[in-house]
Structure 1
């Protein structure tokens, strides 16, 4: 994509923190779209550039801010590894600073996404599509997809930071932040205008990353769903209306997948449940960031693949070092929140031909493809991932018995924690499938759960339970759910448990906790409650403040 304006270049440099020298500038006395767009491929290249950024954006720093600050995942220090200057502790204990990298990466990535999509949108709006062999219908679809993408970046930025600088063009510099309400209204306006002009998904169509009506409608539902925490206004009724419309097919043809793995597996682009995803291409390493962070140095042997990993992330423990389940707090305990009969709770095993079972690496890491051995505390021993955090190898040396072992972020070992396999891995015989699963951003199950929560808040508990059970039943053999949701057992914590189980590791947990006022007010493993409400928003990073003196910091941050 050619950057044709000094203002856009300045925006991207400020947001990215890149220092450039020896720029070879090409100046045009008159810039028109025809200068750059000669063929259909040129148009698509401009369109796809913004979506490529979105594919990157839904991963890494954004995922970590959502999950590593909440009650389901941790990066414990394991011997000499993963202290990382205390960064992992700061996020877990809610002690982040204006200089922490994940926050800067998220601010930068959010506004860069806006700038890229806005630049392409403005160019394509000016282009006569007939000159490149495309139609006015193509133009409307492309322009409104980019408008929806702009709304998406603003929606995520509002969630992380509150009000953002609102760009309606890429001209101008040092734009101040708009208020939370102004940002909310801007997102709403963008989506309301885009929805009727986007195409609807037709039953049987593959999901390959294009934004359709269903995706834009779901984003609007998300905006209303979290309006109370964004702007202090309850908009649950509006959210419920949109969700019901999506389920009824008003915005395109979507259905719950009959299997739990359908929306997640190697061929999830054909799942009727997927509303919007970031496409992956086989062998293009779309999930290598998750591979590196979650898996042990020798997990590749268990998978029957090649290439080691970094042994960092894992589920927070459900059990004390003695093996007892934590009962002191209602949040957390992610692995034990899955019923024992849940098909997803099985250890992950690739079965061949693109089929697999289970979603976790837990217990002895022995599979038909190989055995993973320890390289640190458990050197030459079979690695057995445990749902506990403690330095068991220090019993008899530094600690007299297991009961005396502490369990904190500082007390991990190389086998600490259950590992999640949300994106399936094949073995070497089927290596062509590796990284083949698309990264799902919105799926119909989320719409069911949003509607269920709206009904719960409206006092319609049985209707809420029925919606959740419609999704739950596929997770059990022959649909025999041993612990269905009922009007009697559904409360705010059961609702959060259902969100946590169905969407474990899908980059949303912090938002759900904030919506229920649990993010700072409740406790979970090695995390104490506080009354520091400003922590519901991240600070504007120092790099951004230094680059734009019109920006104001969020309250509560020095």
Structure 2
């Protein structure tokens, strides 16, 4: 059982949040200035957890995650014939026709820059503390969190305002900074931060979980380098290999025997595969996981003895399901076809009809049984407070390190070495080992392994399938300018110094 910390109020911070992603005695602090606050690491950490909580929206069900997933071949949320769920902004993202007035994109911008702004405020408070010399690790951690936020901003919008102060002068608002310069800022900040962060080898892993270690930042850098050619025009494949090797060579990480255990509430803290995560425990006011609520069919209330009826929203596609062999354990995470109770009995409606899940046929008015379900964050073993579960949200896993290195090796003419790494991941899930490797194999393996983990859009852009592929209701080729989202209209009004992305 873990103890969590409530986020205090900080005079310099513009956002007040209740959050928890560390395991400390629960306390509530008042509104204090840097002169009287941060007398010790525990007080300082109580502010940093709020930055973690905001960053988690990029892998949570928040708009930053939804915005990315809607434009891929693994995610769809149809309107229901019974009412609810229809949202034109989301349909436009699904069809790759979003514009500057897209509400989902607008909310995602606010969420991501809230995290960046909060990190700026916390950093200023940490660096103003008379005890700042004793807070080097937390200062580095917060710099890394801010850089991570900028990675998501750069990945989604390209040129974005680069701000490192807590309060802006309304008469001197920041202009857009080029994507290449934001990339360089992220790289510089992460490399500087990692010098003052502990390695996973130097901490009590259970007690330190889920805070960032050096290896979490090396993994983040590897993923940014993997996409460097998209971001800057210059590939950085060797840097990908170098960062991955820094993680691999610790010997601290390995694949869990069953991939699903990385998402099972009772198994996550002991996982040697999870590199970075966000702890959730709604029973302690320490965040929540609502994937079950938003995803599952209402009949799953009976199947899993849930304290609520799920809302039957988020679904996946036939294209995602078809990537898996029947023998691949990962396929079991997609609920499709006839549904059953855990004891094997048919899962039925009150009239005795069995629930049979089929692909979405109508994106505007789908029937109750349309849409396959991704049960990655399983309710089995989870603790619930109302409709909130305590499964931790996973940000980075060791399987990503292996597949990133494999891709970089393949792209630098080392296919045999790459094949060994890909087959490590496949063997863990009982997928048939590959005898040879193509770039399409690597893209498909990443899609299988990281279903709904928030990286499919970025991967599809890198591989090119984002533009040339068709699936479900996306039936046309995609213009190249849509590799980034439009700057929301409201942000252009609020800050005339921003520049709209080409094509919008």
Structures share fold, TM-score greater than 0.5 = yes
Within-5 A mapping of 1:77-96? 77-82=79-84, 84-96=86-98
**Which residue does 1:422 correspond to in 2?**
376
Tell me how far 1:204 sits from its aligned partner. Answer: 6.4
**Which residue does 1:268 correspond to in 2?**
268
8 Å CA contact retained: 1:466, 1:485: no
More divergent stretch after superposition (72-81 vs 211-220): 72-81
**Which residue does 2:50 correspond to in 1?**
49
Cα distance in 1, alignment partners of residues 65 and 183 from structure 2 = 22
TM-score (normalizing by structure 1): 0.79
Cα distance in 2, alignment partners of residues 285 and 32 from structure 1 = 24
Within-5 A mapping of 1:157-556? 157-173=153-169, 174-202=173-201, 205-206=205-206, 208-249=209-250, 253-266=252-265, 267-281=267-281, 283=283, 288-317=289-318, 333-346=319-332, 360=335, 362-368=337-343, 372-374=347-349, 381-386=353-358, 388-390=359-361, 409-410=363-364, 412-426=366-380, 435-476=389-430, 481=431, 483-487=432-436, 490-556=437-503
8 Å CA contact retained: 2:141, 2:212: yes
Deviations 1:200-237 (A, max 9, x none): 01286126221110011111111111111112111112
Cα distance in 2, alignment partners of residues 448 and 427 from structure 1 = 29
Tell me how far 1:192 sits from its aligned partner. Answer: 1.2
Change (3 A) 1:427 1:48: closer
3-state SS of the aligned residue for 1:525? coil
8 Å CA contact retained: 2:289, 2:391: no
3-state SS of the aligned residue for 1:170? coil
**Which residue does 2:4 correspond to in 1?**
none
8 Å CA contact retained: 1:425, 1:435: yes
Change (3 A) 1:75 1:172: closer
Computing the radius of gyration from Cα coordinates, the structure with the larger value is: 1
* Equivalent residues, number: 474
Cα distance in 1, alignment partners of residues 281 and 365 from structure 2 = 38
Tell me how far 1:40 sits from its aligned partner. Answer: 4.9
Tell me how far 1:112 sits from its aligned partner. Answer: 1.4
Change (3 A) 1:272 1:366: closer
Cα distance in 1, alignment partners of residues 128 and 48 from structure 2 = 14
More divergent stretch after superposition (302-311 vs 507-516): 302-311
Which structure 1 segments of 5+ residues have no match? 14-27, 131-135, 318-332, 347-357, 391-407
Deviations 1:424-483 (A, max 9, x none): 11379x76998232111011110111001111111222211110111121212xxxx4x2
Tell me how far 1:411 sits from its aligned partner. Answer: 6.3
Change (3 A) 1:344 1:171: closer
More divergent stretch after superposition (271-280 vs 117-126): 117-126
3-state SS of the aligned residue for 1:416? coil
The CA RMSD measured in Å over matched residues stands at 2.7
TM-score (normalizing by structure 2): 0.87
Tell me how far 1:146 sits from its aligned partner. Answer: 0.2
Cα distance in 1, alignment partners of residues 82 and 142 from structure 2 = 46
Which structure 2 segments of 5+ residues have no match? 1-7, 17-30
Cα distance in 1, alignment partners of residues 349 and 498 from structure 2 = 49
3-state SS of the aligned residue for 1:109? helix
Cα distance in 1, alignment partners of residues 99 and 349 from structure 2 = 35
Tell me how far 1:286 sits from its aligned partner. Answer: 5.0
Tell me how far 1:361 sits from its aligned partner. Answer: 5.5
Tell me how far 1:166 sits from its aligned partner. Answer: 1.2
Cα distance in 1, alignment partners of residues 88 and 33 from structure 2 = 50
Cα distance in 2, alignment partners of residues 415 and 344 from structure 1 = 22
Tell me how far 1:196 sits from its aligned partner. Answer: 1.8
Cα distance in 2, alignment partners of residues 529 and 459 from structure 1 = 33
